[in-house]
Amino acid sequence: MKITILTLFPEMFDSPLKYSLIGKAIERGIIQIDVINLRDYALDKHRQVDDYPYGGGAGMVIKADVALRALRELRRDDPEVRTILMSPAGRTLNQDLARELAREKKLLVLCGHYEGIDERVLTEIDDQVSIGDYILTGGETAALVLIEVVVRLVPGVLGSEMSIDDESFNDGLLEYPQYTRPRQVEDLEVPAVLLSGNHEEIRRWRKKESIRKTLLMRPDLLLKKRLDEEERRYLMEILFPEHEGERP
């Protein structure tokens, strides 16, 4: 996969792209990430990329002519690229959208800044993506989140020693609680089932605890999920422990 980032602040990507899974994926040639300065497409001697908004108001707006020139030139080089604008007006980034984007071969991500971007730029945008209902100074931080979420789903990035099958949100539920050594910390012990060696018992415990955690922390996710028979049974046992073991 190739990801191109179009931004006013390319230095914000220097360190995050060098480490962890993203850095390793780049080193192994699985992912290519190019960070391009939007100012390179400004034609005036001051390389101006923003201006005051028509109609008045506070702040500055990214100019349409500069952004359109950049997007069109980059798309001319990569006709198959899918263009994305990081924007609070966009689709909320979730695991389904991440899987959709991870199937693309090329992504071009435009980071907005200041008070926004000239509306006419949207003529060259395929998708707008938001990472949540809050305010950021610019789209660079949001773009880094998008990259992290998408890149780890690209085949070969996680490697054979890691799996996304049991991660939070992968099946619409939060991940089950995790434990490691030492077995006891103060008066807190690791659940005995995890030490039993019984893989089927461990699987059932993890599934039930995943549902319990989701119910406590993110009950909205349960409302969206179509539970199978086993999951419905565990949910009933959590809600009505006196009926544990009964069929729903």
Q: What is the pLDDT of residues 73-128, one digit of tens each?
A: 999 999 999 999 999 999 999 999 999 999 999 999 999 988 889 999 999 999 99
Residue 64 has pLDDT above 80, yes or no: yes
Average pLDDT value for residue range 3-16: 96
What pLDDT, on a 0 to 100 scale, did the predictor assign at position 180?
Answer: 94
| 61: enclosing H helix or E strand | strand 61-62
State how far the Cα of 2 lies from the Cα of 240, in Å rounded to an integer: 50
Domains of the chain, CATH where assigned: 2-151 (3.40.1280.10), 184-243 (1.10.1270.20)
Distances (CA, A) of 66 to 37, 41, 204, 230: 11, 6, 56, 55
Residues 115, 166: Cα–Cα separation, whole Å: 40
Tell me which of 159 and 10 has the higher pLDDT.
Answer: 10
Q: What is the chain's mean pLDDT, rounded? A: 92
| Residue 133 backbone phi and psi in degrees, to 5 | -90, 70
What mean pLDDT do residues 26-49 have?
95
Q: What is the pLDDT of residues 209-235, one digit of tens each?
A: 999 999 999 999 999 999 999 999 999
Residue 179 falls in which region: left (phi positive, over 0), alpha (psi -120 to 50) or beta: beta
Tokens of 127: 């998708």
In this prediction, residue 129 has a pLDDT band, given cuts at 50, 70 and 90, of: very high
Residue 2: predicted pLDDT = 97
Buried b (16+ CB within 10 A) or exposed e, 171-201: bbbbbbeeeeeeeeeeeeeeeeebeeeeeee
The total of other beta-carbon atoms located within 10 Å of residue 23's CB is 15
Predicted confidence (pLDDT) at residue 169 exceeds the cutoff of 90: no
- Nearest CA to 129 among 113, 112, 151? 112
Is the pLDDT confidence value at 164 over 80?
no
Report whether pLDDT(167) > 80. Answer: no
What percent of the chain stands above pLDDT 90? Answer: 85
How high is the pLDDT of residue 115?
Answer: 82
Question: How large is the average pLDDT for residues 7-28?
Answer: 95
Contacts of 37 (CB under 8 A, 6+ apart): 7, 8, 10
pLDDT at site 160: 54
Is 208's pLDDT higher than 90? yes
pLDDT of residue 58: 85
Q: Quote the radius of gyration of the chain (alpha carbons, Å).
A: 23
User: In terms of pLDDT, which residue wins out, 174 or 248?
Assistant: 174
Token pair for residue 232?
Answer: 């419905």
Stated as kind and residue range, the H or E segment containing 222 is helix 219-224
Cα-based angle 86, 90, 93 (whole degrees, multiple of 5): 80
